[in-house]
A and B are shown apart, each in its own frame.
Chain A
Amino acid sequence: MIAIVVNPSMPITNLSDAQIKAIFTGKAKNWKAFGGPDKQIVVVIRDQASGTREIFDKKALGATDTKVVESAGSAIQCSSNGVMREIVGSTSNAIGYISFGYVNKNIKAISFNDVAPTVKNAATGLYPIARYLHLFTKGEAKGAVKGYIDFMLSDKFQNDIVAREYVKIKDVNIK
């Protein structure tokens, strides 16, 4: 799942899909319109190659395979979740989006359409900016590949590794 994040000093806790779209496409330029300070909005996005950006564009900005939603030309492009956290965490008037596992105290995850970005809300499908990550195999998985997939599905792996940054597969119910 992807969280929309702002600097902790930004007094904003929720934005609607229309507001998000206005901000990320560059139509809205000042935080004042959203109840924030009279400051320019610094939009931070991911680069063209990012899967995070693809899902954000589709699920938050309403892009489809045929209909493109262009991000603001003034948006800062960064190439990783780490850099995104760095920029948003240190720029008081920035907004961006980040893989949920990267959210820490330096940045603030805000609600989308009044739904908080929590593991529970993503799992039930209430928080829409989330997706499945897939594994692909050539034909039916067998041998070591099957062993590896079974290992990833095991309770131990799901609890110890997956739950740290993602949502456990048995908790997920995204349509």
Chain B
Amino acid sequence: MSEGPGISPAATMRAMVTGDRDRWVKLLMFCCASVSFLGVLLIFLFIFRESLPAITKVGIPKLFLSTDWRPASGHYGMLAFTFGTLFTTVAAMIIAAPLGIGAAVFIDQVAPEKVGRGVRRVIELLAGIPSVVIGWFALTLLVPFIRSVTGSSGFGMLAASLVLVVMSLPTITTLSAESLRAVPVELKEASAAMGATRWQSIYKILMPSAREGLIIAVVLGMGRAIGETMAVQMVIGNASQATASLLQPGSTLTTRIVQDMGEASGVFRSALFAQALMLLLLSVFLIISIRLISRERKHA
């Protein structure tokens, strides 16, 4: 916007408001987009910069590929927590994926419309419950239950995984229901016309047609599970060991960060940022896999 001499600012403004409204709106939208884009970029750069001291001083193998986490004596291996994140997430998905997709089939195909809508609303409501509430609930009910059944402390990977099932279920169910609904009704009618039973239609026609959508629903559910912090931190036990035992206490990347960030400084703090970097990489990986799946769907 070049201003010639002799034109008052007020006149310029008036001209812009009346004549160039489009351009102003465009500019505003551009600003909005830039702010979010730059925000994300800044977070990436910041986390990378903060984790640099740990990467250079500890070294990538000892930082990312070691399970030896003893910050007081200078051991900052995060593998136990990366493993904890993946382990609890996968364990949660093993339960949540069939449960969520099953619920979606029920909502979309089996239930009468009113019932289906009711179930759907309740599951959506589950997504709105703050994670600290779910965590507290699990701490007072789930952990003592696991304790009484197994004789362990109750805190551990199993409790964390079950909490993640609850946290990721709404995402998986609603998205699965969407993708089932998106299957053309002709397919279903054709299947019925061929004499297929309801279950044959669902298993042979509906589920394969919605396959990519269902996978994306589960992947997004995983994203939710990987990032969950508060509820998991309350029940996982926050031990620093790597464990594949469901009844042993452990940690995930997020719970380790929130557990230790209060008092951490220097390389210790930087090592926690490196864990944040690891989390980001996991999310990026998930997003890329979603893109790949969607592309496959378009080509199919």
Contact = CB atoms under 8 A, between A and B. Distances in A.
Interface of A: 42, 44, 47-49, 68, 70, 73-79, 87, 90-91, 93-94
Contacts of A68: 70, 72-73
Most buried by A among B155, B248, B260, B264: B155
A79 B239 contact: no
B73 A70 contact: yes
B188 to A, nearest CB: 51
A159 B70 CA distance: 42
A76 B71 contact: no
Contacts of A42: 152-153
Interface in B219-275: 237-241, 243, 248-249, 259-260, 262-264
B contacts with A: majority SS: loop
B263 A49 contact: yes
B260 A47 contact: yes
Given A70-B72, A77-B237, A94 B153 contact: yes
B249 A91 contact: no
A74 B243 CA distance: 9
Nearest to A44: B153
Contacts of B70: 68, 70
A55 B122 CA distance: 49
Contacts of B170: none
A48 B155 contact: no
A64 to B, nearest CB: 12
A44 B152 CA distance: 13
B53 interface: no
A74 B241 contact: yes
B49 to A, nearest CB: 24
Most buried by B among A74, A75, A79: A74
Contact of A48 (B73, B154, B241, B264): B264
A48 B144 contact: no
B147 A91 contact: yes
Contacts of B248: 74
A73 B239 contact: yes
A79 B259 contact: yes
A80 to B, nearest CB: 12
Contact of A76 (B69, B153, B264): B153
A78 B235 CA distance: 10
Given A48-B71, A68-B73, A91-B154, A77 B241 contact: no
A93 B263 CA distance: 30
